[in-house]
Amino acid sequence: MTTNNPKFKPGTYHVDAPGHNGTFPIEVTFSEDRIESVKVDGKTETDGIGSNAYTTMPQQIVDGQTLNVDVVTGASDTSHGILSGVAEAIKQAGVDPEIIKDRPHYVDPDAEVEDLDYTTDIVVIGGGGAGLAAAATALDQGKKVVLLEKTMALGGNTVRAGGPMNAADPEWQNQFKALPGEDKTLEELTEYDLDQVDDEYKADFETLKGQIREYLDSKKDYLFDSVELHRIQTYLGGTRTDLQGNRIYGKYPLVKKLTDNVLNSVKWLKEIGVKFDETEVAMPVGALWRRGHKPLEQAGFAYIKALGKYVEDHGGIILKEAPVIRLMNVNGKVSRVIAERANEQRITVRADAVILATGGFGANTKMVQEYNTYWPSIDDDIPTTNSPAITGDGIALGQSVHADVTGMGFVQMMPVSDPETGELFSGIQTPPANFVMVNQEGKRFVNEFAERDVLAKAAFENGGLFYLIADNEIKKTAYNTSEAQLEQQVKDGRLFKADTLADLAKQIDVDPVVLEDTIKKYNSYVDADNDPEFGKNVFDLKVEQAPFYATPRKPAIHHTMGGLTIDADAHVLNADGERIPGLYAAGEVAGGLHAGNRLGGNSLADIFTFGPIAAKTAASEIVDTASGASMH
């Protein structure tokens, strides 16, 4: 007969648990009657994602003396790893872990259950980058703020971002040399037929052509950029035609507002506390140009860490695990928000302005399939880079108060995603100038410097799965990893490493002769600054210094371009183009900016520009009241 009060073999047990980025160590200490402590070394897990699990679950296991604890939304791999690791330690301590799993579900004894009621100036829905930027800006404007976050942790998709944020900053960029081929990209723009350009963009295109000619005529060797280049590349990069022949391009007022203001957004983030790497101009995949401002630490989490602290330090009220279920019109204005927690606690927030910053719907595959008009098909089991919480809630909330939507059929695939998890932080992720993409035959199949949808379509046409080939020097340009993480991934079979290309080919099951020939040709193209096969127009390093690496990749749902219709001041509009009083939106929940395809690095530019714009607009339209945020 089993007992629910078994006796452990006292001592400390060490186990390795499977996580999102490989295995991680856990140390569990038992007395005869209790689990005394659970210590997790989660350095390999992603800050702001996996860290949410290993900073909360161990204490819940100890407090509840149970393995019956909730997994952390968005960190399921780390959560299950912790549970399986502790279960293994329990087994080593001489107890059947099923006994501990069968104990009552852990409930936080301090959790509030009474309904809450707040009155404030501005309520922000969503605690990712756009929401936190809006909340911080509203506080700067002297307004009181309540922020409602659906999950137990701030961050949304921003913590999953690589980190570089696009902003033309010529004074900084001109300090760096041009890469081979960048002049050709600029020359092609001077030859672009303006008859193919939409009227709103023609004047900017003319200005850009003049800037480029002046730069090229100067024969100076530096990285060129301008606000107009950013604007035109955003426009051209987003102009697409769907399967029914409908053409879409970025709405000029939105694109202009972004490109005119994003450098100020970078400067503001520096004031908030984000530290940027001034020694390198970054370029994410599909960015088309080097203009990325990259945080020094922790990729996307660097923004969330700084902004979350700023909001809390300046009096903002942040309520987590508070999914919003309803927006309410009061006297013709959206001014009341209802959230409901899992324990049925209801939260009512009365506000003069409501800012939606809930992200898109990239983790809602059925919704993606329902709206899709761009991809021939989207499989039910397609991976996603998104947080599981990004399911289109804000779009539905907006529609419930008659908001219009735009561009919903265009969904971006991240071509270089982990085949199993959809994440971006595994393997060796480098600037696209160092991408060498080979298919399952060991052959290149696309211009690796192209836009994301071009890369993804080419990957799908080649069977989906492909490999990024790198050598020891290219590895040094990776922005997402450490040597320890790479070695762990090699051990786990998620990354392939060899001293010769022939051995690497055998590991990924391709013909060594084919792979060696592919790399020989690619290296010759780098030397010649010319790719006659696929037209890659910007190069950096050759593949020649052992060890060699192959990172498996496959496209995954990444970004939904469509969303609520907004104007350049972030007002949400109805189907007649009229403002919905009291309602504003920023970030991926809004559509119209990126049109059919988003440039890499423009998402962070978007959220950290339009989040503050939404807050400033809302603050300017609020009639001051004597009271601020209060609870009763």
Count how many residues are written for the chain.
632
Query: Which tokens hold the place of 284?
Result: 């994410």
336 in catalytic set: no
In b/e form, how buried is each residue of 318-343, taking b as 16+ CB within 10 angstroms?
bbebbbbeebebeeebbbbbebebee
In single-letter form, the type of residue at position 599 comes to L
Given 231, 290, 452, 598, which residue is catalytic? 452
> 537, 447 in Cβ contact below 8 A?
yes
Which residue's structure tokens are 């590895």? 475
Query: Which tokens hold the place of 18?
Result: 């499977």
549: part of which helix (H) or strand (E)?
strand 548-560
User: What distance in Å separates the CA atoms of residue 246 and residue 474, rounded to the nearest whole number?
Assistant: 40
Query: Which tokens hold the place of 361?
Result: 């719907």
> 133, 155 in Cβ contact below 8 A?
no
User: What distance in Å separates the CA atoms of residue 618 and residue 612, rounded to the nearest whole number?
Assistant: 10
Q: Classify the phi-psi angles of 492: left when phi > 0, otherwise alpha if psi is within -120 to 50, otherwise beta.
A: alpha
User: What distance in Å separates the CA atoms of residue 267 and residue 630, rounded to the nearest whole number?
Assistant: 32
User: What distance in Å separates the CA atoms of residue 563 and residue 571, rounded to the nearest whole number?
Assistant: 13
User: What distance in Å separates the CA atoms of residue 369 and residue 378, rounded to the nearest whole number?
Assistant: 6
Query: Which tokens hold the place of 537?
Result: 């127009």
> 28, 38 in Cβ contact below 8 A?
yes
Q: What amino acid positions are annotated as catalytic residues?
A: 452
